[in-house]
């Protein structure tokens, strides 16, 4: 696997984490209706982050130079966090 492929895969993993956090925040908006606007805004921000990360993945996957050191991201921890957030109440 090329280094850029690894970077692209890392960005995708981070994007899925952001999407999972967004879903969690949407559930919080339902569970805590009095603060629903706050949680909905957070959810929307996380969705933007996910979209940006997926866009960055598409930009770098065919580049000659890797944009970051893959070892700077703990993907095991990111994947664990994604699974944890996905287990939270969904409303």
Reported as a single tens digit per residue, the pLDDT across 22-59 is: 999 999 999 999 999 999 999 999 999 999 999 999 88
Q: How confident is the model over 60-78, as pLDDT tens digits?
A: 877 777 788 888 999 999 9
Global pTM value: 0.87
Closest C-alpha among 68, 28, 21, 70 to residue 47: 21
How many residues in the chain? 91
> Considering the domain boundaries, does residue 91 fall inside one?
no
For residue 9, tell me if it sits in a domain: yes
Rounded CA separation 62/81 (Å)? 28
Q: Residue 22 belongs to what domain range?
A: 3-86
For 32, residues 6+ apart whose C-beta sits below 8 A from its C-beta are 39
The owner of tokens 């009095």 is 34
Residue 16 included in any domain: yes
**Gap between the Cα atoms of 25 and 22, Å rounded:** 5
Q: Is residue 44 part of a domain?
A: yes
What's the number of domains the chain is made of?
1
Q: Is residue 29 part of a domain?
A: yes
């Amino acid at each position: 696997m090329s280094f850029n492929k690894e970077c692209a895969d890392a960005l995708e993993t981070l994007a899925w984490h952001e999407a999972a956090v967004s879903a969690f925040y949407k559930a919080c908006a339902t569970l805590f209706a009095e603060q629903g606007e706050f949680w909905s805004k957070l959810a929307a921000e996380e969705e933007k982050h996910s979209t940006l990360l997926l866009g960055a993945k598409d930009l770098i996957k065919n580049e000659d130079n890797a944009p970051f050191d893959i070892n700077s991201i703990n993907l095991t921890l990111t994947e664990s966090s994604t699974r944890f957030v996905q287990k939270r109440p969904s409303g």
